[in-house]
Amino acid sequence: SPDEARMDLNPSFLGIALRSLLAIDLWLSKKLGVCAAEGAAWGSVRPLMMLLEVSGHGIPWLLGTLYCLARSDSWAGREVLMNLLFTLLLDLLLVAVIKGLVRRRRPAHNQMDMFFTLSVDRYSFPSGHATRAALVSRFILNHLVLAIPLRVLAVLWALVVGLSRVLLGRHNVTDVAFGFLLGYLQYSIVDYCWLSPHNAPVLFALWSPP
Ligand SMILES: CC(C)=CCC/C(C)=C/CC/C(C)=C/COP(=O)(O)O
């Protein structure tokens, strides 16, 4: 129809802006993927990037939280750890749903050699490591009493984990940027729905009451 023809010939400003952003994103991400292979420009720092990958992976965070929860002997500690566990699970679920809906392929220069992935992890939007790094970092800053250098370290760790996703070629820049935003917002949800022995007694029933 004439209307459709007009739409094709006059793409909206938003359409042009989005397409340009995506083009810049792909170009920049390819340029920054300097650790994507052993033989790449910064291939020698790839092992360090892989170490950062492990530090933001879901398995160590889940196992670590479960371990600390089992060892915790205070109600305050259990409450914080139970909420961290809930946060990590919510994050895995949300990221899996969005990855499954958006189905953006990982950059062509990525080598799919990550350990322990779910089937949706063949998709790249958003970066699960970036969401986790942002929300865990915000969680730590809000619930642990830490000296300033450790607080700075928590923020730096999150930023470096996000950057390493692009350097490794695992993600485009927008996957990581959206991941950070999503992780930041997820923390707000968790804070709003904070679980305690008063509003979720079943979750704390494993331990005898204080
Ligand atoms: C309880 C349960 C379903 C645990 C699964 C934990 C698991 C395998 C998480 C995957 C973590 C991962 C490799 C995410 C991918 O991160 P990207 O930054 O590459 O999106």
Asked if 5 and 139 touch (Cβ cutoff 8 Å), the reply is: no
Residue 92 has φ and ψ, to the nearest 5°, of -60, -40
* Rounded average pLDDT over 36-42: 93
Which of 13-17, 185-189, 204-208 is predicted with the least confidence, judged by mean pLDDT?
Answer: 204-208
Point out which residues pair with 56 in neighbouring strands: none
Q: For 137-165, how does the pLDDT look when each residue is reduced to its tens digit (9 = 90+)?
A: 999 999 999 999 999 999 999 999 999 99
Angle between helices 128-143 and 75-102 (to 10 degrees): 160
CA distance 126 to 54: 18
Residue 11 confidence class, pLDDT cut points 50, 70, 90: confident
Q: Indicate whether residue 117 lines ligand 1 (CB < 6 A).
A: yes
pTM for this predicted structure = 0.91
The size of the chain, in residues, is 210
- So what's the pLDDT on residue 209? 63
* Rounded average pLDDT over 192-204: 91
CA distance 132 to 186: 9
* Rounded average pLDDT over 166-179: 98
What mean pLDDT, rounded, does the chain reach?
93
* Rounded average pLDDT over 123-146: 97
Residue 92 has pLDDT above 90, yes or no: yes
Q: Indicate whether residue 114 lines ligand 1 (CB < 6 A).
A: yes
Buried b (16+ CB within 10 A) or exposed e, 71-107: ebeeeeebbbbbbbbbbbeebbebbbebbeeeebebb
Active site residues: 129, 171
- So what's the pLDDT on residue 201? 87
Mutation pick for ligand 1 pocket among 55, 92, 93 (CB with most ligand atoms within 8 Å): 92
- The three-class DSSP label of residue 124 is coil
Could you count the other beta carbons within 10 Å of the beta carbon of residue 206? 10
Mutation pick for ligand 1 pocket among 55, 62, 85, 118 (CB with most ligand atoms within 8 Å): 118
Residue 9 has pLDDT above 70, yes or no: no
* Cis ω before 47 (30° cut-off from 0): no
Tokens 């929300």 found at: 135
Q: List domains and CATH numbers for the chain.
A: 2-204 (1.20.144)
* Rounded average pLDDT over 107-128: 95
State the distance from the centre of ligand 1 to the C-alpha of 189, rounded, in angstroms.
20
